Amino acid sequence: MTYLTLDCVLRSETDPQIIATLQRKGWTVTVPPTFDPATEQPPVWEACAWVTKPIPAPQPYRVSKDTIVSRVNDANKVPDLMALIDSLPAEQQFLWDNFAWFWSTNPTIVGMCSQLGLDPAVILAPDPYLT
């Protein structure tokens, strides 16, 4: 795929004869910049130039407490979870006891997963019941 521009208009072509004809008419070959797919979106043509934007941070999502406990149970860590909850400050214990769901980015819940030796990405994976 070859990209050509003329007066800020981007055109893509694959046929060498068409590319040569367009170049004779003033079209200029432009090459998109390289990008890191792990951190950047593919380049796009905006305002007469290639633009590479970072991949946006994932949006937080809700995970039910039942799902969290079920996943901790699958890892055979419920007794450790109960001991950890008992050791939390009163305000955080109240939140654990009274909230039905938590944001996936909740630092207390993420920290609890780590303290239990569990991967927060697994325990706090998207909840199929809270979309």
Would you place residue 131 in the very low, low, confident or very high pLDDT band (cuts 50, 70, 90)? low
User: pLDDT tens digits, residue range 65-116?
Assistant: 999 999 999 999 999 999 999 999 999 999 999 999 999 999 999 999 999 9
DSSP H helical segments within the chain, as ranges? 16-24, 65-74, 78-86, 90-98, 107-115, 120-123
Residue 42 makes CB contacts below 8 A (sequence gap 6+) with: 32, 35, 52
d(CA 43, CA 63): 34
84 with 69: CB under 8 angstroms? Answer: no
Q: How far is CA 125 from CA 73, 79, 102, in A?
A: 15, 21, 12
